[in-house]
Amino acid sequence: MGFSEQELLTWFTQYAYQPMFIYGGIFLLMLASGFGFPAPEELTLVSTGLVCYVGSRPDLYPPPYPGATPVNQYTAAAVAFVSVAFADCLVFFLGKYFGGRLLRQKFMARYAARMNKVAEWTQRYGMWAAGVFRFTPGLRFPGHFACGMMGLPVSKFLLVDALAAGFSVPTQVLLVARYGDKILVYFKQFKLLIFGLLVLGGLYFAWRRYLLPKFIRKTDT
């Protein structure tokens, strides 16, 4: 297989008419991603969108046989959202009910260095930390685990996680499913824009919380 856009879309044709295989794959990959395994969520979502796009264009990508059922974009988006929410909640409840015991296990040692930062953010930002962890590479699993371990109310975690997942997960599938290879050109620009806004927001928060009070104290004296 080559690496041009056309060759990539042609390669996805073989999966565009295997809906149960795709839905099952989405669930397993999202579950693995939620537990910190190297299964990039974005890659799964974009690939799912491309499969849906191919299945919606039988004129360009003929089905393997007449009457073959393609992957449905709305079903795929719903499966992705439910899978992500399920994985996040599973990690949250593991932290809530088995947090102390699991932290003593060897396989959790790789998260030890991140737990202090996660605990600090959770104490400082409360329920909104759950949304931050969802978009922070490397902190999703330990972050959601810490939210459960530190006693964040279940209702608040579900609300924030559902809002964050609802904003990012189905939209990626549906956008790629609708516009196919055309939308991929704008993904990198969009991510850079979001990253820039987050940086500016972080600088503004640091200024308001740390620098401004020091400046006020100096002027008062």
Please give the residue that has the higher pLDDT: either 88 or 221.
Answer: 88
CA separation (Å) from 142 to 85, 114, 177, 181, 191? 16, 7, 32, 34, 23
What is the average per-residue pLDDT within 180-186? 65
| pLDDT confidence of residue 148 | 84
Contact 34, 141 (CB under 8 A): yes
Both structure tokens of 126? 């409360």
Examine the pLDDT at 197 and tell me if it is beyond 60.
Answer: no
Contact 92, 122 (CB under 8 A): no
% residues pLDDT > 70 (the chain): 69
Examine the pLDDT at 89 and tell me if it is beyond 60.
Answer: yes
Contact 175, 73 (CB under 8 A): no
| pLDDT confidence of residue 2 | 41
Q: Is 68 helix (H, G, I), strand (E, B) or coil?
A: coil
Task: pLDDT band for 72, please (50, 70, 90 cuts).
Answer: very high
| pLDDT confidence of residue 110 | 64
Examine the pLDDT at 20 and tell me if it is beyond 90.
Answer: yes
| pLDDT confidence of residue 149 | 82
